[in-house]
Amino acid sequence: MDMNYVTAYQEVLLENLDAILKQNFQFQTRLKLYEMDSNKQAELQAKFNELSANYQEAVNKLDEFKNSSQVYKVQAESSDAIVQEKNRIQSALNDAMREITVLNQSIQTKDREISDLKDIIAKPKEEEKPKKVAVKKVEDKPEETKIENLAKPKIDSVNTF
C-alpha cells in the first residue's frame, strides 16, 4: 500500500477519532447536565408534592374551620337568645320584686291601721253614754194590704242556703 494512502488513512482515522471523542465528551456533558436537571426536577417534584399535601391540608383545615365557625355562629346566636331570655326574666323578676315591695309596704300600713284599731278597741271607754232607743209610736190603724199583694208570696231572703 501506498504511504500516502496510509498517512491519509491515519489522518482520517485520527480526525474521525477526534470527532468521535468530541461527540462522546459532548454527549457525556449533556448526560451530566440532564442528570443534574433530572435531580433538580426530582427535588422540585418532591417540593411540589409536599406543597400540594400542605395545600390540601390547609383546604381541609379551612373546611373544618368553616364548619366549626358555623357551629360557633349557631352557639353565638343561641347564646344571644339565652342572654335576651335572661334579661327578660331578670326584668320580670325586678318588676315582681318592686310589686312585692309595694305590697309589703301596703300590708305594713294596713297592719299598723289594724293595730291602731285594736288599741282603740282595747282602751276602756271612760265615758259611755247610754244609747237612746228610738221608739216608734204605734198607731191603731190597721195596715192596709192590697189584694194583689196577698197572692204573691213574701220572700225575706234571696239566699237559698
Domain boundaries, the chain: 11-138
pLDDT digits (tens, 9 = 90+) for 21-38: 999 999 999 999 999 999
Confidence of residue 71 (pLDDT cuts 50, 70, 90): confident
Instruction: Tell me what pLDDT residue 51 has.
Output: 95
- Residue 114 Rama label (left phi>0; alpha psi -120 to 50; beta): alpha
- Our CA angle for 143, 145, 150, nearest 5°, is 140
Instruction: Tell me what pLDDT residue 26 has.
Output: 94
Across 136-151, average pLDDT: 53
pTM of the model: 0.36
d(CA 159, CA 122): 35
Confidence of residue 70 (pLDDT cuts 50, 70, 90): confident
Position 132 pLDDT exceeds 90:
no
